[in-house]
């Protein structure tokens, strides 16, 4: 269906054509006529499906130039989303002289917003907290309100805006139109629709399989200690023009951004604790291409409208299915292909990712990280190709003089060439990390708890290799898992993971089988190290000092129960 088929004014049709919109998306096709009819609407749709136009075009169309004050109020969860929605509505209303959209949100001077509101603002787009500030100051008057829109309603509730939303809904005319858009429908949303909407029309356009079908989805099972190296390897290998990396916490966004910048990447981070001028600067830098990597939290990213992202990286596994869909939906837009990379560090996360795949009807394939040697060969081949194209070009006279000077001072051509090539490539090659992917035995794990990991050549299979044991002062209570231990050992010692034997995790310590002839080296290499942020103490275990651990007994047997069994045995013997 085309926009010309709708009962829209010529001014709006003209603006829509200039923007480049032709055929409507599903959410637009179903929502715009219903909203124009004056009905309350509940819209379920994902990010990137054209929701802003779905409510923005009707909002512009219903403005009455005779009426004063605010006629349409649009609530958004973040400053970025409010600002971008306002920009879109300005485009739709370009030829409507009587329409004056204004965005209001926290983090900026309120006085400037007050001045803008006084200039006949009749569509206000803002965050709940700042809207309430203006209502209290009487700089926003809602007694003539025709329509209120709750955009990304589930996100606003998750961010703690429910009280503010209900306060606003309770103080506007009862005969207004209420439009709500949400990706999910939790109980809190249903409670709001029941209390504040009148016979709403449900418009459901979510099709998760369609949302992700154009996106290649890959995951990599790596040791926790190699997570950053795996990300760096993928970024270097693919060399995307633009990519987004998602983390679950603001702290991780800051830390990861700093680490990437230190490794030479053009990266910027964005999260909710940043001031508005910082956020604006970050987004301008990313959108203009000055920086190619944006590291973000889910909440910050919900308010970002960016087209043309080549790839998405889930550095942290998303906390629910919807977040996964929203994240990867940043790539593969507007009919383009895209790719999503996810890093997982243990069997539990593999199981969680498989659950996400089932619920979103996605195919998330386990993949290998680029091989370091293959990676280097590709770089060399690229150099040879570019060299062949430029061979025989004009030599700058100063360069010729330098070359002759070096030859006069005893340097031959081979030495000069080798030295320059080494300078050209050495740092890049040194910066390429080596990461071993942990191949899953079964891609459909449903549970992830496990306490032991064995190398392919474990202690029973080693032919004549003598093993000793070391004790590490971390265990279950510190949420330590075998991958953390093995990854830390390989990192610190340079010894292959296959060289280690059984890893037995107890409540407060872990026992690892290690090659006897390398025990001292391992202890020294692990000194002052950390595993999962915890300081590590490693000691050699002598046979006589080992704890009471029966290899034939259940590892998780209740000690009190075992004690009772021993008493019963003694009583039976004495009887």
- Tell me: the pLDDT tens digits for 149-207? 999 898 888 788 999 999 999 989 999 999 999 877 888 889 999 999 999 999 987 55
| Half-sphere CA count of 148, side-chain side, radius 13 A | 27
**More confident site: 220 or 212:** 220
Strand partners, 43: 181, 203
Q: What is the pLDDT, as a whole number, of residue 554?
A: 37
**Lowest-confidence pick of 82-96, 145-159, 388-402, 439-453:** 439-453
Q: Where does CATH 3.40.50.300 sit in the chain?
A: 3-206, 210-366
pTM of the model: 0.52
Class of domain 210-366: alpha beta
Q: What is the pLDDT, as a whole number, of residue 271?
A: 87
Q: What is the pLDDT, as a whole number, of residue 364?
A: 92
pLDDT confidence band for 565 (50 / 70 / 90): very low
| Percentage of the chain exceeding pLDDT 70 | 79
Q: What is the pLDDT, as a whole number, of residue 336?
A: 67
Residue range 3-206, CATH number = 3.40.50.300
**Lowest-confidence pick of 25-34, 388-397, 504-513, 563-572:** 563-572
**More confident site: 47 or 518:** 518
Q: What is the pLDDT, as a whole number, of residue 342?
A: 96
Please give the CATH architecture assigned to the domain spanning 450-575.
2-Layer Sandwich (3.30)
Q: Which residues contact 430 (CB under 8 A, 6 or more apart)?
A: none
Contact yes or no for 224/345 (Cβ under 8 A): yes
**More confident site: 432 or 493:** 493
pLDDT confidence band for 562 (50 / 70 / 90): very low
Distances (CA, A) of 498 to 14, 180, 435, 462, 539: 67, 56, 14, 11, 21
Tokens of 465: 């290799």
Residue 544 has φ and ψ, to the nearest 5°, of -70, -20
Residue 462 has pLDDT above 50, yes or no: no
For 185, counting Cβ atoms within 10 Å of its Cβ (0-12 exposed, 13-18 middle, 19+ buried), the class is middle
């Amino acid at each position: 269906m085309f926009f010309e088929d709708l009962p829209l004014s010529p001014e709006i049709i003209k603006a829509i054509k200039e923007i480049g919109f032709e055929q409507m998306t599903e959410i637009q096709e179903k929502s715009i006529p219903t909203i124009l009819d004056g009905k309350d609407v509940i819209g379920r749709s994902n990010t990137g499906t054209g929701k802003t136009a779905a409510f923005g075009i009707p909002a512009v169309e219903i403005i009455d130039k005779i009426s004063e004050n605010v006629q349409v109020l649009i609530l958004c969860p973040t400053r970025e989303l409010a600002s971008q929605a306002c920009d879109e509505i300005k485009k739709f209303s370009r030829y409507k002289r009587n329409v004056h959209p204004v965005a209001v949100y926290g983090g900026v001077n309120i006085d400037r917003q007050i001045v803008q509101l006084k200039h006949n603002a009749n569509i206000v787009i803002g965050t709940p907290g700042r809207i309430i500030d203006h209502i209290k100051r009487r700089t926003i008057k809602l007694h003539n309100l025709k329509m209120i829109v709750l955009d990304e309603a589930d996100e606003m509730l998750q961010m703690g805006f429910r009280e503010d939303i209900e306060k606003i809904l309770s103080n506007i005319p009862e005969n207004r139109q209420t439009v709500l858009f949400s990706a999910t429908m939790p109980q809190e949303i249903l409670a709001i629709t029941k209390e504040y909407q009148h016979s709403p029309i449900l418009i459901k356009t979510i099709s998760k399989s369609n949302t992700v079908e154009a996106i290649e989805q890959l995951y990599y099972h790596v040791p926790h200690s190699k997570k950053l190296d795996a990300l760096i390897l993928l970024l270097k290998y693919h060399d995307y023009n633009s990519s987004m990396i998602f983390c679950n916490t603001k702290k991780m966004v800051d830390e990861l951004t700093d680490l990437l910048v230190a490794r030479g990447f053009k990266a910027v981070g964005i999260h909710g604790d940043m001031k508005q001028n910082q956020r604006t600067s970050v987004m301008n830098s990313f959108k203009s291409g000055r920086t190619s990597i944006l590291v973000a939290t889910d909440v910050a990213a919900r308010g970002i409208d960016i087209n043309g992202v080549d790839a998405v990286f889930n550095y942290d596994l998303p906390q629910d299915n919807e977040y996964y869909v929203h994240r990867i939906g940043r790539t593969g837009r507007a009919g383009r292909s895209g790719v999503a990379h996810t890093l997982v560090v243990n069997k539990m996360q593999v199981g969680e990712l498989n659950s996400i795949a089932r619920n979103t009807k996605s195919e998330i394939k386990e993949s290998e990280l680029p091989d370091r040697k293959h990676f280097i060969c590709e770089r060399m081949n690229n150099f040879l190709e570019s060299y062949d194209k430029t061979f025989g070009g004009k030599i700058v006279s100063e360069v010729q003089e330098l070359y002759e000077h070096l030859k006069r001072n005893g340097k031959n051509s081979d030495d000069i060439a080798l030295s320059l090539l080494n300078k050209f490539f050495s740092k890049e090659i040194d910066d390429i990390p080596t990461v071993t992917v942990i191949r899953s035995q079964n891609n459909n794990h449903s549970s992830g708890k496990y306490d032991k990991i064995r190398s392919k050549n474990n202690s029973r299979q080693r032919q004549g290799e003598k093993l000793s044991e070391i004790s590490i002062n971390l265990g279950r209570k510190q949420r330590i898992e075998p991958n953390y231990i093995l990854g830390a050992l390989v990192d610190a010692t340079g010894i292959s993971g296959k060289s280690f034997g059984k890893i037995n995790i107890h409540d407060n310590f872990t026992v690892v089988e290690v090659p006897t002839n390398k025990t001292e080296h391992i202890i020294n290499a692990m000194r002052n190290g950390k595993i999962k942020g915890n300081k590590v103490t490693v000691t050699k275990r002598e046979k006589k000092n080992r704890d009471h651990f029966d290899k034939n007994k259940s590892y998780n047997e209740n000690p009190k129960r075992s004690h009772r069994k021993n008493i019963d045995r003694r009583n039976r013997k004495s009887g």
